[in-house]
């Protein structure tokens, strides 16, 4: 019985998708729920699973083709068995020769990692994996290259592999990914549709650092996740958004929509660009809930498994350039949101306390906001609220 494989139903905000790569070839056996191909939209990479056990009989769109919602992209013969020739049987590896199950072949890597492996002629079996389920990630491959270890040929001699780096006075033209194109569009939309302004302040994180040092180990044993800085900032922002609702509002034509909940988007850097999965009802989450949610999103982002639902509907954004060493920046508002909080690197700096010069772990924080609805006073008071909570964490714990 022939079964049609269709493009998943795409949200109204996503017009089409591009076939990023097939994991199966025509004639190969497939299992129910096994990933057949990856589709790249302007927001996420979607996996398309097989609906049945059988054999892949036809591929209607090759890699690079543009497809739309519910379009037939493949045909599977349900219940069929893939033909095995004598040569295939002879070539099959014995149990002792089988590759490590954890690493898998190039075809089993996430799209970004697969591209790095092919372009740099790396055998995934030779790479130490850190991803979920023992999967090799893009970061693992990059670390493998940096370590100076010799890469094993994946399919062709090293001399035939594409150059890993661009030489002096050479150029390389590559098309933007769909996600990168969408990021560019969103940035221009923000620039052209909002009256953006940025206010800043600095925070003494001595008390937060002390709390993490005092309770971090017990927290991790109890909840199974590390106590990071981000949970303090998310909790402080969620509390402040309740007290300064205009910062949590959005513009719709000539109307202002005030949201009675804090769905906070957390900026996460991936190999394809910046994505912003959403912590729903952050005002109701405790520190453990925040850390677990962020950890889950980070893992899904690395493996290209974020869903469209994960990325939609945020009312406010937090971005942390400090993880890359940024001392200060002016983050860009993510419409239709009206504000974004930028965190930065922590540096020991000299400050004056009680007339004495002392060293303290200081961070610059910045709030970019849509000046059409948020006045400077609102922005400054919001930042001061964040500062007061972080410098007095007890206020945060008790919702003060």
User: Which residues form the catalytic set?
Assistant: 371, 375
Alpha-carbon 308 to chain mean position: 12
Could you give the CA distance from residue 128 to residue 327 in angstroms, rounded to a whole number? 33
> Could you tell me if 90 and 117 are in contact, meaning their C-beta atoms sit under 8 angstroms apart?
no
The set of residues, in sequence order, having a beta carbon less than 8 Å from that of 398 and lying 6+ positions away, is none
Could you give the CA distance from residue 391 to residue 400 in angstroms, rounded to a whole number? 13
Q: Which pair of tokens denotes residue 35?
A: 């990933």
Is omega for the bond preceding 270 within 30 degrees of 0, making it cis?
Answer: no
Could you give the CA distance from residue 40 to residue 38 in angstroms, rounded to a whole number? 7
> Could you tell me if 72 and 56 are in contact, meaning their C-beta atoms sit under 8 angstroms apart?
no
Report CA-CA distances (Å) from 218 to 190, 225, 227, 234, 310. Answer: 43, 10, 10, 21, 30
Backbone angles phi, psi at 218, to 5 degrees: -65, -35
């Amino acid at each position: 019985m022939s079964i049609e494989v269709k493009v998943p139903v795409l949200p109204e905000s996503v017009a089409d998708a591009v076939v990023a790569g097939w994991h199966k070839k025509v004639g190969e056996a497939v299992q129910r729920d096994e990933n057949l191909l990856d589709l790249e939209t302007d927001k996420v990479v979607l996996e398309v699973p097989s609906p049945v056990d059988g054999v892949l009989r036809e591929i209607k769109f090759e890699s690079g083709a543009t497809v739309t919602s519910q379009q037939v992209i493949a045909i599977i013969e349900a219940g069929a068995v893939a033909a095995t020739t004598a040569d295939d049987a002879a070539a099959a590896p014995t149990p002792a020769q089988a590759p490590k199950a954890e690493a898998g072949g190039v075809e089993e890597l996430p799209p970004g990692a697969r591209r790095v492996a092919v372009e740099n002629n790396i055998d995934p079996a030779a790479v130490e994996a850190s991803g979920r389920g023992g999967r090799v990630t893009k970061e693992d491959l990059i670390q493998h290259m940096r370590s100076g270890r010799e890469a094993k040929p994946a399919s062709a001699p090293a001399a035939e592999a594409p150059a890993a780096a661009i030489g002096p006075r050479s150029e390389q033209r590559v098309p933007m990914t769909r996600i990168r194109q969408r990021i560019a569009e969103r940035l221009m939309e923000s620039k052209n549709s909002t009256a953006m302004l940025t206010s800043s302040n600095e925070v003494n994180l001595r008390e937060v650092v002390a709390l993490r040092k005092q309770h971090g180990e017990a927290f991790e044993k109890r909840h199974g996740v590390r106590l990071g800085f981000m949970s303090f900032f998310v909790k402080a922002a969620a509390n402040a958004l309740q007290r300064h609702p205009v910062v949590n509002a959005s513009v719709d034509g000539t109307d202002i929509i005030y949201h009675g909940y804090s769905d906070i988007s957390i900026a996460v850097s991936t190999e394809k660009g910046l994505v912003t999965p959403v912590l729903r009802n952050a005002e109701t989450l405790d520190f453990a809930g925040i850390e677990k949610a962020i950890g889950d999103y980070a893992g899904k982002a690395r493996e290209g498994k974020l869903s469209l639902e994960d990325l939609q509907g945020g009312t406010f954004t937090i971005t942390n350039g400090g993880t890359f060493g940024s001392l200060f920046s002016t983050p860009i508002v993510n419409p239709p949101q009206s504000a974004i909080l930028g965190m930065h690197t922590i540096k020991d700096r000299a400050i004056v306390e009680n007339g004495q010069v002392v060293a303290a772990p200081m961070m610059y924080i910045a709030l970019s906001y849509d000046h059409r609805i948020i006045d400077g006073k609102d922005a400054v008071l919001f930042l001061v609220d964040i500062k007061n909570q972080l410098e007095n964490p007890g206020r945060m714990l008790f919702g003060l």
